């Protein structure tokens, strides 16, 4: 190529200089284009002719897919380090679409099924036509809809439909059983939709022996991939089921809200700790790259992003004490319902809470009946679900926190403290129980002792009134001070407000008073009779067992308010721990818990001691309503029985207590729905205290367990 550069430069002629520069640039660019073209042609020749076979072979093995490495879900432990919930790793078989012919695909599917059946692995069976000996069958209730969905003639028989699918999938095999197995998987992947990058799960919980066979003979299986998945394992069966909750497959509604962080088949917490601390437990998934040939065989695998395990949640409960608590509650309900105390009641449900009186830590919390969280792993069966929801005792409801009940006479300590602190009674005040409270003509309630024996308790001070559970004493005390003062002290003890425990669905309860009546009784005015009933834990008073445990703890610890908790700490995968402030802020936001402003009250120690002495007499004096249950007990106990009237002619049975009396450590509250009398439930508290203090279970003489119930109605 010739470049004409013969120019006479005249620097005085700017036009000529500019034209020369343009010509020079154009000609140089032309040269450059020619050179690049020659290089590209040479490279193309090298790729297609010289190394063509080599690169074609490499391209066949470089079909790369990205697979999720599921993070191990965090564990849930008790306070001593016992694992209550863990994640075990299981293998699943999934299938991708590959570039193979139909015959190869069908043969590969049959090979895959034969391996699964060899190791007794269950796999998804979604094809509705079943083959019974000499007959093709399909469920009548699904037949019409299925034919319409699959664009089949409405008059076609099950056998004719079967062979249409055989032809559709070009299955050459003549063994009918094997044909159906191939059709089923072809039908499954057609329904689910799969591609070279989107898989369909064929089977789960595959044993290692099957995994080995799939890996060693991968050339026989087109497009399969073995996935390692963490599966939830509840190591202690039904223990603490309402606390732990359960996890299950994410629903479509949950996925829509969380699809930036979740896959559509992820496991997610549904109830209990599993739900509340989902964000901590989940962890962060990783990714794995899989290189496959176009025929579906895997050529290489490598981790491109490591998974990060979820945080562990350490609870405040003690697994051994929890087990004793659940067993004691269940045995007590059984005994009540079968007449073990001399008269049977239709008792089917109850709850119990054990709390550290100084810290608010929940050491055990039981709700009866319970359920098995393992039933929900991988999806609960219809029969199991129906058994749960149709059970009148409502096993899926945590009665310790989600239900509220009239407290009956266990509320009388609130009335006593309110009366003493407001000055309407003092430690020397004696009130004469004549049996019937006759101050008001239109409402004259009776003391329980009059109902049973047609007499009154006579003159009693506040400690004696608690020991005898004298209704009359508390009628008069409340009448003197009025309902507003009583409400103020009930709220100070945490009644009528959520405790803030780290579990969903906690009830607020109801403090019986003017505000509650306005809401619940169509604005009816407050009456003196309402005050009298409220003073003995009836009328609108309703509290959960966990609220009652906080109330008794505050009494036992000297009047100091506490915040109940069931989470001791959160341990992150990097070894760090979440602070109490972080946990509280997270839980309050997750459960929409708002801090309540409660008037601070400094309870006079002498007044408090008088009430506590009355509680001690309940268990230690022969006239106490729970004396028979604790008369030979080695630990001094403060307690109170309660029998609360409920709708349907039911009487809920309560016992609240704390120990040791001299230096309280724990408070225990037990409630049995329609349990008859609080005295009966005291056995639960006794058995739990025996475990907590390292004692042998106390034996009560058989004749004492059948003491006439009328003596212990309050």
Q: Do residues 517 and 449 lie in contact, with contact meaning Cβ atoms separated by under 8 Å? A: no
Does residue 419 share a domain with residue 293?
Answer: no
Nearest CA to 472 among 484, 460, 463? Answer: 460
pLDDT at 710: 35
pTM of the predicted model as reported, rounded to 2 decimal places: 0.80
- The pLDDT mean for the chain works out to 87
Nearest CA to 242 among 407, 365, 111? Answer: 365
Question: Which carries the bigger pLDDT value, residue 57 or residue 137?
Answer: 137
Q: Is residue 429 part of a domain?
A: yes
Does residue 685 share a domain with residue 621?
Answer: yes
Please state, in angstroms and rounded to a whole number, the distance separating the CA atoms of residues 615 and 655: 11
pLDDT at 690: 95
Residue with structure tokens 């057609």?
A: 190
Q: Is residue 9 part of a domain?
A: no
Q: Is residue 4 part of a domain?
A: no
Q: Is residue 401 part of a domain?
A: no
Residues 549-599 have pLDDT tens digits of 999 999 999 999 999 999 999 999 999 999 999 999 999 999 999 887 888
**Domain end marker among 292, 315, 338:** 315
Please state, in angstroms and rounded to a whole number, the distance separating the CA atoms of residues 495 and 439: 29
How many structural domains compose the chain? 4
Q: How many CB atoms within 10 Å of residue 232?
A: 21
Q: Find which of 200-204, 284-288, 465-469, 622-626 is predicted with most confidence, using mean pLDDT.
A: 465-469
Does residue 349 share a domain with residue 201?
Answer: no
Q: Is residue 581 part of a domain?
A: no
Q: Which residue(s) pair with 435 in the sheet?
A: none
Q: What is the mean pLDDT of residues 412-423?
A: 98
Rounded to the nearest 10 degrees, what angle do helices 605-620 and 545-556 cross at?
A: 120
**Domain end marker among 315, 348, 376:** 315
Residue 647 structural domain:
319-384+605-712
Does residue 428 share a domain with residue 552?
Answer: yes
How many residues are listed for the chain in this entry? 714
Does residue 428 share a domain with residue 551?
Answer: yes
Q: Is residue 579 part of a domain?
A: no
Exposure b/e, 311-326, CB count within 10 A at least 16 = b: bbbbbbbbbebbbbbb
CATH of the domain at 71: 3.90.1310.10
CATH of the domain at 499: 3.40.710.10
Confidence of residue 707 (pLDDT cuts 50, 70, 90): very low
Q: Say yes or no to pLDDT of 367 above 90.
A: yes
Confidence of residue 486 (pLDDT cuts 50, 70, 90): very high
Does residue 268 share a domain with residue 330?
Answer: no
Does residue 301 share a domain with residue 208?
Answer: yes
Q: Is residue 55 part of a domain?
A: no
Does residue 308 share a domain with residue 330?
Answer: no
pLDDT at 5: 39
Does residue 239 share a domain with residue 116?
Answer: yes
pLDDT at 708: 36
Rounded to the nearest 10 degrees, what angle do helices 483-492 and 412-422 cross at?
A: 110
Q: Which pair of tokens denotes residue 653?
A: 């049975």
Does residue 555 share a domain with residue 664?
Answer: no
Q: What is the mean pLDDT of residues 9-28?
A: 50
Does residue 361 share a domain with residue 248?
Answer: no
CATH of the domain at 363: 3.30.450.330
Please state, in angstroms and rounded to a whole number, the distance separating the CA atoms of residues 686 and 32: 98
Q: Do residues 641 and 655 lie in contact, with contact meaning Cβ atoms separated by under 8 Å? A: yes
Give the contacts of 227 (CB within 8 A, at least 6 positions apart). 67, 91, 92, 93, 94
Residues 146-184 have pLDDT tens digits of 888 888 888 888 888 899 999 999 999 989 999 999 999
Question: Which carries the bigger pLDDT value, residue 58 or residue 671?
Answer: 671
**Domain end marker among 568, 593, 624:** 568
Q: Is residue 108 part of a domain?
A: yes
Does residue 116 share a domain with residue 157?
Answer: yes
pLDDT at 51: 53
Out of 299-308, 376-385, 578-587, pick the least confident: 299-308
């Amino acid at each position: 190529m010739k470049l004409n550069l013969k120019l006479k430069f005249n620097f005085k002629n700017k036009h000529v200089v500019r034209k020369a520069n343009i010509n020079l640039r154009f000609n140089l660019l032309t040269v450059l284009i020619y050179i690049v073209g020659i290089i590209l042609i040479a490279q193309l020749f090298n790729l297609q002719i010289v190394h063509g076979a080599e690169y074609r072979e490499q391209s066949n093995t470089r079909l790369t897919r990205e697979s999720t490495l599921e993070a191990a879900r965090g564990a849930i432990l008790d306070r001593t380090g016992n694992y209550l919930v863990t994640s075990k790793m299981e293998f699943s078989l999934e299938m991708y679409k590959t570039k193979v012919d139909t015959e190869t695909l069908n043969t590969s599917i049959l090979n895959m099924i034969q391996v699964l059946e060899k190791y007794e692995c269950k796999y998804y069976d979604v094809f509705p036509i079943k083959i019974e000996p000499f007959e093709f069958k399909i469920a009548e209730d699904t037949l019409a809809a299925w034919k319409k969905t699959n664009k089949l003639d409405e008059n076609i028989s099950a056998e004719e439909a079967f062979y249409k699918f055989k032809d559709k999938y070009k299955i050459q095999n003549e063994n009918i059983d094997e044909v159906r197995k191939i059709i089923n998987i072809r039908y499954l992947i057609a329904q689910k939709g799969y591609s070279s990058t989107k898989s369909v799960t064929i089977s789960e919980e595959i044993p290692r022996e099957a995994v080995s066979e799939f890996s060693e003979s991968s050339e026989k299986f087109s497009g399969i991939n073995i996935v390692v998945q963490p599966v939830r394992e509840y190591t202690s069966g039904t223990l603490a089921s309402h606390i732990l909750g359960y996890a299950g497959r994410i629903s479509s509604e949950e996925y829509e809200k969380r699809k930036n962080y979740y896959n559509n088949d992820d496991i997610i917490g549904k109830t209990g700790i599993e739900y509340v601390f989902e964000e901590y437990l989940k962890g962060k998934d990783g990714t794995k790259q899989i290189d496959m040939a176009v025929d579906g065989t895997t050529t290489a695998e490598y981790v491109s992003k490591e998974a990060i395990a979820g945080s562990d949640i350490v609870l405040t409960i003690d697994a051994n004490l929890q087990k004793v608590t659940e067993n004691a509650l269940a045995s007590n309900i059984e005994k009540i319902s079968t007449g073990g105390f001399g008269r049977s009641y239709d008792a089917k449900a109850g709850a119990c809470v054990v709390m550290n009186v100084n810290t608010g830590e929940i050491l055990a919390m039981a709700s009866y009946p319970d359920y098995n969280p393992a039933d929900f792993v991988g999806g609960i069966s219809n029969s199991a679900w129906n058994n749960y929801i149709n059970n009148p005792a409502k096993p899926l409801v945590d009665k310790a926190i989600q239900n509220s009940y009239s407290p009956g006479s266990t509320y009388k300590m609130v009335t006593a403290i309110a009366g003493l602190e407001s000055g309407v009674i003092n430690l020397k005040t004696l009130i004469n129980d004549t049996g019937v409270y006759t101050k008001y003509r239109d409402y004259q309630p009776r003391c329980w002792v009059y109902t049973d024996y047609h007499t009154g308790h006579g003159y009693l001070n506040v400690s004696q009134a608690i020991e005898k559970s004298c209704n009359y004493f508390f009628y008069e005390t409340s009448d003197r001070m009025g309902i507003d003062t009583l409400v103020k002290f009930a709220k100070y003890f945490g009644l009528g407000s959520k405790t803030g425990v780290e579990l969903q669905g906690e009830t607020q309860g109801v403090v019986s008073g003017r505000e509650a009546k306005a809401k619940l009784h169509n604005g009816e005015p407050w009456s003196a009779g309402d005050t009298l009933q409220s003073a003995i834990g009836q009328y609108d008073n309703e509290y959960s067992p966990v609220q009652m445990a906080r109330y008794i703890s505050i009494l036992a610890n000297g009047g100091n308010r506490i915040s109940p908790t069931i989470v001791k700490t959160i341990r992150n995968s990097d070894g760090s721990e979440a602070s109490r402030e972080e946990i509280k802020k997270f839980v309050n936001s997750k459960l929409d818990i708002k801090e309540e402003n409660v008037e601070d009250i400094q309870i006079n120690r002498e007044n408090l001691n008088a009430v506590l002495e009355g509680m001690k007499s309940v268990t230690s004096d022969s006239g106490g309503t729970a004396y028979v249950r604790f008369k030979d007990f080695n630990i001094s106990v403060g307690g109170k029985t309660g029998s609360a009237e409920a709708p349907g002619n039911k009487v809920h049975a309560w016992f609240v207590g704390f120990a040791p009396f001299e230096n309280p450590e724990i408070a225990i509250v037990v409630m049995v729905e329609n349990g008859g009398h609080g005295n009966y439930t005291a056995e639960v508290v006794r058995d739990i205290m025996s475990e907590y203090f390292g004692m042998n279970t106390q034996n009560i003489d058989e004749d004492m367990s059948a003491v006439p119930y009328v003596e212990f109605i309050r």
